[in-house]
Amino acid sequence: MTLAGTAAIRTSTAAPAVARVRRDPRLAIVAALYTAAQLILAAPGRSLAWDESIYFSQVDPRSPAAFFSAPRSRGVTLLGAPVAAFTSDPLVLRTFLAVLSGLALFGAFAVWHRIIGRGTSALAALLFAGLWVTVEYGSQMMPNLWVAFGAVAATGFFLRAVREGPRRGHLVGLAVAVGWPTLVRAPDGVWLALPLLAGVLVRAWRDWRIAAAIAAGLAAGMAEWIAEAYARFGGITERLADSDAIEGGLGFSWNVGNALRSADGPLLCRPCDVGYPAVSHIAWWPALPLLAVVGIVVAARAGRLAPALLPVLCAVSLSASYLFLIPYAAPRFLLPAYALLALPVAALLTAGARAVRTSPTPLRITAAVLAGALLAGHWYVQAQILHRQIGSARRNVGEYRALADALRRIGIRPPCLVAGDSQPIAYDAGCASSINSNLRSDASQASGPVVVRAAEHRAVAILVAPGGGAPSYAPGWQRRELTGSPLITGWSAYVPPKR
């Protein structure tokens, strides 16, 4: 086949999709606005945060790989690999991820066009993209948002497979949409697959090909995690045990209160000893599942139960471990649930708008105006929270950069190691941290002898926060005050005595 013929086939294949977007560009507009919000608000001026520096260091050839602990999954590192091949610039990485997450938002919710309609799927995407935490993490190299996109696509492909028949495209899409969340967050992939596999047991949906697609996606996503469990941790049981220890003990834990406390930040609530936020900041949080339940009732009465119920069941499954099995919280943990619950809520709002158009009674008009006002207020509050969180994050990364610069000024340059509470600081300085790929311990236990031995052949500094004491495992090391920015007042580093 000639190049011209190949190009013609590709053009003819892509043309219908482009035409559909042109006819109804609402979802594309939502995705574009989502990307623009990240590029304007969330991406500029931010170096890598703690977890991001761990993930990115795995693929960045210019930096030592940080210790990769048992609970983490390697799929997240793939998000940064295309950028790491060329540069370590955080702005380039954030720009790339902002564009990629916008495309993922479009692709995930586009799967639902033929199930709930183009307008409703665009509204669902807008409801999800309008949350501060969705904008905050769109340009970050973290797993939960990407689980959310996969979960939305997986439930959509499942419903299309049982409604339209198990066509090859539906089955491949379902397998990929289950496999990707599993690759970036292995436990979440399992929690997503469980309700989908249970759905195949429903008599009207019973089809071995659909079950096989789910199982294939789950197996493909888990393959790397299982291989690494044997290669680095001694087996699956040992890796799970390590994960349990790092997570603080997995078991029943009423974590709903902690999740509510962190609904508007902090980004990690561990220990979660903050107070409850203002009611105006968290009213949306209990309202979302309540509206989803109302959406199920309305959809059932209209004979459209499955498109409303399945996303809710998957949301419950994906949020269960974060609400009942761990003792701490972070706003990003529930992103997959928020994305899935946005689907029945959008369908409910669309049904309400349709009812007002067809029969505009005073009561319905009043309800529509009230709903519109509440939605506008909700987005205003989300913008306020986002502004506050971005400011806080920039102060944190500003501190990281200032500490890295201060370490360079006292002679800590590659090849080097920074010990203490140091991971993102070490990354910014181009050093290994005391949590590195050769150690199975965290910084609180960190192998003092290893740090001391490292000083024999490379520059080493033990970072100490304001008020901290001298490291007991390095007697005779010299204290150097770190200067250069008001952000690091009181910080110091201990370095070996000059020989």
SS3 316: helix
pTM of the model: 0.93
Q: Is 234 left (phi over 0), alpha (psi -120 to 50) or beta?
A: left
Residue 1 has pLDDT above 80, yes or no: no
Side-chain half-sphere exposure of 113, counting CA atoms within 13 A? 14
Contacts of 111 (CB under 8 A, 6+ apart): 152, 153, 156, 157, 160, 173, 177
Strand order in the sheet with 432-433: 432-433, 416-419, 459-464, 492-495, 478-481
In angstroms, the Cα distances linking 330 to 154, 253, 260, 272, 348 are 24, 15, 10, 9, 28
Residue 6 reports pLDDT greater than 50: no
Report the length, in residues, of the chain: 499
What per-residue confidence (pLDDT) applies to 12? Answer: 47
Contacts of 482 by beta carbon, 8 Å cutoff, 6+ apart: 403, 406, 407, 410, 488, 491, 492, 493
CA distance to 52, 404, 429, 463, per residue, from 63 (Å): 13, 14, 9, 19
pLDDT in tens, 327-355: 999 999 999 999 999 999 999 999 999 99
Per-residue pLDDT tens over the stretch 68-112 = 999 999 999 999 999 999 999 999 999 999 999 999 999 999 999
Which positions ≥6 away from 419 have C-beta within 8 Å? 433, 434, 443, 446, 451, 460, 461, 462, 463, 471
Mean pLDDT of 253-279: 92
**pLDDT at residue 210 tops 60:** yes
